[in-house]
Structure 1
Amino acid sequence: MDEEGYDPLQNLYEEEQARREQERYAQIEQETFDRDIEVLMSTEQGRRFAWRLLERSGVFLSTFNPKATDLGMNMAFEEGKKQAGYWLLSEIQRLCPQQYFVMTEEQKKWQMNRLRLARQA
């Protein structure tokens, strides 16, 4: 082996370069995702969609269902759904907490309008 061209640290340099590239790609991916959540929450339609996801995940409900045939499995399944909702909720709180309050106010108005329309029918 040619000792002049041999660099014992070459593998370390290459590994460090690969690690830096991987970190940069992860940072770009996270920044893109963060912008996606911010854009979602910047429109009434996006906030309405996020609210539906939160509702369907069961974030605002108890996981206990005494009518379930297999209580343990049912609760585990419901807790899994809730975790997805908690994740979305935490991202909203981290990135645009003010939009969460806008979203809840919009939902209150929507619920009141729905009740008013139901009474008229």
Structure 2
Amino acid sequence: MTEKTFNASDESQVADRKKKELRGRERELEDLRVVLSTKEGRRFYWKTLCDCGVFKSSFTGNSTTFFNEGKRDIGLKLLADLMEADAKKYLLMTEEAKD
């Protein structure tokens, strides 16, 4: 199956591509909402954010800082996705993490 070549000057193709990307993003967010709907999913997500170093400084004074910043960058993206999907679940996660 050959895919039609994308033409950025074709307004209908651009509109179709935007719709497709929006549907894909909404699917990602819905998947995340499903994960966050369970205590186990929230616990896993919280641990991942912590492992990425989101809540601590990445500075070490040497080249390890670059490695830490890479992990932290991924964690910040995950945190942004969480906030976009369901910010209330973040608050719930912080409460659950205290227990």
Amino acid at match of 2:49: L
Question: Which structure has the greater CA radius of gyration?
Answer: 1
| Structure-2 residue corresponding to 1:46 | 41
Cα distance between partner residues in 1 of 2:13 and 2:86: 33
| Structure-2 residue corresponding to 1:79 | 69
Q: 1:98 aligns with which of 80, 88, 92?
A: 88
Amino acid at match of 2:12: Q
Gaps in structure 1 of 5+ consecutive residues:
1-11, 110-121
TM-score (norm: length of structure 2): 0.83
Post-superposition offset of 1:65? 2.5
Runs of 4+ aligned structure 1 residues displaced above 6 Å come to: none
Gaps in structure 2 of 5+ consecutive residues:
1-6
Q: 1:64 aligns with which of 37, 59, 64?
A: 59
TM-score (norm: length of structure 1): 0.69
Count of matched residue positions in the alignment of Structure 1 and Structure 2: 92
Cα distance between partner residues in 2 of 1:82 and 1:41: 21
Cα distance between partner residues in 2 of 1:41 and 1:21: 30
Post-superposition offset of 1:52? 1.1
Cα distance between partner residues in 2 of 1:64 and 1:26: 36
User: RMSD of the alignment, in Å?
Assistant: 1.7
Amino acid at match of 1:54: L
| CA contact 2:29–2:84 (8 Å) conserved in 1 | no
